[in-house]
Structure 1
Amino acid sequence: MGASGAVGATTSSGDAPITLSQAPPRTLGLRDTAGLWGNLGISLLLPVAATYVVLADHPLSVTIGAIVVGAVIGSVLLGLGAAAGAREGVPAMVLMRGLLGRRTSFLPTAFNLVQCVGWAAFEVWIIAEAASRALDAPRWPFVLAAGALATLMALRPLGAVRVLARYAVWAALAAIVYLYIQVLSEPLPAVTEVGAASFWTAADIVIALPVSWFPLAADYTRHVRRGRDAFVGATAGYGAATIALFTLGALALVAYGRGGLDVVDALLAVPLGLLAVLVLLVVAVDEAFANIYSTAVSAQNVMARLDRRMLAVLVGVLATGLALTADLVAYEPFLFLIGAVFVPLVGVFVVAYWLLPHGRWDVSDTAPARPALLLAWAAGFVAYQLTLPTFFPGPGGVWTAWWSSRQAELGIDPANGWSASLVGLAVAAALTTLVWLPGGLSARRRGDWSKALR
């Protein structure tokens, strides 16, 4: 399958194309892909978020089981998006043209632009905050340094991927193993106070992390030579890192009785903890880089001739400015809301691309709109919010209160313990099948699968 109508001559630089009209060089293999996604999964955000994953009044093995289940589900979905990107050779938002049509694909593109800028800023902020705590220094110099490094990496993304795969991943692995040794040397008492409401709500938080990368995956795997390598590399690389970092956070919370950003302080307190945490902070810059680069590439779905290098610089400056001035802790729930928007879209795409019949996946400028699939996407989002409304604290909790009222009207227990991600995925996938399959069967009888998309 190809990206007919979307790309042309291959870029001569050997790195990522400057504009959408150039074909991506296929230079990445399994090792590069696994190394990239392994590094992207290494973030201090995961052990910090482990506070919401640990199950109170349960053996620690149950929490680890929820982490593994969530990581497997989320990373397999990520791998399917990565494989599609390698097969079609186009960025993620261009891939959405085959699902929704060219102009309709501008809707997920707009959501992705907002989430990528927000997460880039948040990653820069959390790196700087942890570095500030580690070195007992002001935060702003680390914001500037992390923002500048991430932006420079976004200018030469394939070069950055090779460095991450060949060197950074091993340094990060050594730091993680060392921290595990230190944490496991402590007693691990039972957790009785903090924790997730149920096994599936714990797994849901873990699922959200790999799925949040789905709208970015093809931006990188379009450079992978084989779809199988893209799937295995993304699934295994990100899945393993997710399990390792969430489990480390859960162990640290149990061992030291400290959650959230206090987990970072606890890790800093172990012998040589400062060095290990600093290694993880440097490696974690790649997440900011990935979001900056994907913002630029996503924008090219709307304006194909834009220079992604110029866009990357602008986005890098914006993200760094937000990390310096914005209250990103208060902004975090909004980022999770945007992530919830993409969870059902993953269900729509996976079913339509991998499970239902279609002809050539049309990513051209003339790809027709398919508004019925917007309904499947929207229904999945509604099901997600009815299962577990995105939480906004304080005066900003109008959204949460409105959905909680709808839960009450429908008799849905707020403490239902279900996975909102799986419910949203299931509803979106089922409706996609209902919308798509009749056209697919009709097209099959005519011997023309491509008409099933129209």
Structure 2
Amino acid sequence: MSTVDPVRTDAVRTPDAPLTLEEAPPRTMGLQANLGLWANLGVSLLLPVAAVFVVLPGRPLGVTLAAIVVGAVIGSALLGAVAAAGARESVPGMVLLRGLLGRRTSWLPTAFNLVQCVGWATFEIVVIAEAAARVLDAPRWPFVVGAGVLATAMALKPLGVVRVLARYAVWAALAAVAYLFVQVLAEPLPPLEGGGATSFWTAADIVIALPVSWLPLAADYTRHARSARAAGVGAGVGYGLATIVMFTLGVLALAAYGSAGFDVISALLAVPLGALAVLVLVTVELDEAFANLYSTAVSAQNVVARADRRVLVVGVGAIATLLALTLDVVAYEPFLFLIGAVFVPLAGVLIAAYWLTPRGRWDTSATAPARPAYLLPWAAGFVAYQLTLPTYFPGPGSGWTAWWGARQADLGIDPGNGWSASLVGLAVAVVLTLPLVAAGRRQSTRA
């Protein structure tokens, strides 16, 4: 009579992410797991904190809410398209770009993504620590260390964490958010007079930026999806709905309490049992930090395929924690948005090229040839983005903003044009990508 080792059986039933790029990823995530993961990633305290930049002052509240919905739909649709591509090819995000740019040329966006992931992980740790310190009226630094350690531990077992998020954490987050909504809506909602948006499309642009910031990371998780449909629908719907909910909560809190930025958190703490609800959201916020740490390691494997992701995660987690303890991360935020602006047009190039390329011809191997021509629409989309709305840098970094402002003047572009920089950058990138795709298809047909 044979015996079965229960530990080994459980390991086979619930495999985790591969340790190196050379190992095949398990395909264990169905639609529910994808929805749960992306809904949790969308439930972030960063969104209500950033809500002030979405408010259209002096205009009906409904206009601001409409901009949130439009921005969330556009951004999450792009996210879903990339997520589905990652599932279909079963490769991480930066490896997926090999099919567009070639293996070595894909190292360029990989470098940008490494900076972005470390930066956002650091920023998430700061947000968690700041909120926890306010809830418990305690110094911030112990929460920085605790958040860094916990997020790093989560990133060591990513698929196990995803299962927990999909089964349990999402319901706790929804309960906390629903409770805060009830409390905020019980307050009078006077017209909003202060806000950072100058037009409907600049408001939508801020919302678009949040789902788009996950585009380079999406395939890191959806490579484990059982189907492209589960990945695309899970990412698009899960993150899109969460984005609408969290931005709306922030806008309503602004109207009810007249607070902005981190003061929105203080306002939510003032409601009955608000501290408990915010504490739940602080705990759930760890998934954003974990996701960025894990994706930093996976992105690095695009360059060093045999590197053990566990070693990379521990190193990156230590760096992000030290940065959260020592740097003014709030001042670093504009640079993170600049890196995000880099990926908006790249997403347009990737989506157009991938979904117009016949299936089976997207080469993500270690010998994928360089395609430098696709750098041109990417660069053109970035330039169009900055000419529409230059990334704002205060203080010493203001020279970047001033230079692009001067180029706007040279071209007769109104700085207050009110256009969506994301949509302009995407449109330019896609339009310039189409002839390259058509030329590639003609060449393959002749061959």
TM (norm. structure 1) is: 0.95
Shift of 1:395: 2.2
Partner of 1:6: none
1:160-179 paired onto structure 2 within 5 Å: 160-179=161-180
Partner of 2:438: 437
Partner of 1:99: 100
Shift of 1:58: 1.1
Contact 2:87 2:219 in 1 (8 A): yes
Contact 2:54 2:195 in 1 (8 A): no
What do the CA deviations read for 1:95-137 (whole angstroms, capped 9, x no partner)?
0000000000000000000000000000000110111111110
Distance, in Å, in 1 between the alignment partners of 2:409 and 2:262 is: 34
- Give secondary structure in 1 for the equivalent of 2:403: helix
Partner of 1:186: 187
Partner of 2:49: 48
1:355-366 paired onto structure 2 within 5 Å: 355-357=356-358, 359-366=360-367
Partner of 1:111: 112
Shift of 1:394: 1.6
Letter paired with 2:243: T
Moved more, 348-357 or 176-185: 348-357
Contact 2:56 2:203 in 1 (8 A): yes
What do the CA deviations read for 1:314-353 (whole angstroms, capped 9, x no partner)?
0001101111111101100000000000000000000001
Check if 1:336 corresponds to 2:375: no
Distance, in Å, in 2 between the alignment partners of 1:22 and 1:366 is: 17
Question: What fraction of aligned residue pairs are identical, expressed as a percent?
Answer: 73
Distance, in Å, in 1 between the alignment partners of 2:271 and 2:41 is: 25
Distance, in Å, in 1 between the alignment partners of 2:412 and 2:390 is: 15
Shift of 1:359: 4.7
Unaligned stretches of 5+ residues in structure 1: 1-10, 449-454
Check if 1:322 corresponds to 2:315: no
Partner of 1:368: 369
Q: RMSD over aligned Cα, in angstroms?
A: 1.1
Letter paired with 1:362: D
1:204-243 paired onto structure 2 within 5 Å: 204-243=205-244
Distance, in Å, in 2 between the alignment partners of 1:103 and 1:197 is: 41
Distance, in Å, in 1 between the alignment partners of 2:254 and 2:433 is: 41
Contact 1:356 1:437 in 2 (8 A): no
Letter paired with 2:414: D
Shift of 1:396: 1.6
Partner of 1:137: 138
Counting matched residue pairs gives 436
1:272-287 paired onto structure 2 within 5 Å: 272-287=273-288
Partner of 1:77: 78
Distance, in Å, in 2 between the alignment partners of 1:194 and 1:54 is: 5
Distance, in Å, in 1 between the alignment partners of 2:437 and 2:227 is: 28
Partner of 1:31: 32
Shift of 1:192: 2.1
Distance, in Å, in 2 between the alignment partners of 1:33 and 1:406 is: 43
Shift of 1:440: 1.5
Moved more, 148-157 or 352-361: 352-361
Shift of 1:176: 0.2
What do the CA deviations read for 1:151-199 (whole angstroms, capped 9, x no partner)?
0000000000000010000000000000000000111111123231000
- Give secondary structure in 2 for the equivalent of 1:397: helix
1:241-390 paired onto structure 2 within 5 Å: 241-357=242-358, 359-390=360-391
Distance, in Å, in 1 between the alignment partners of 2:195 and 2:289 is: 30
Moved more, 54-63 or 284-293: 54-63
- Give secondary structure in 2 for the equivalent of 1:339: helix
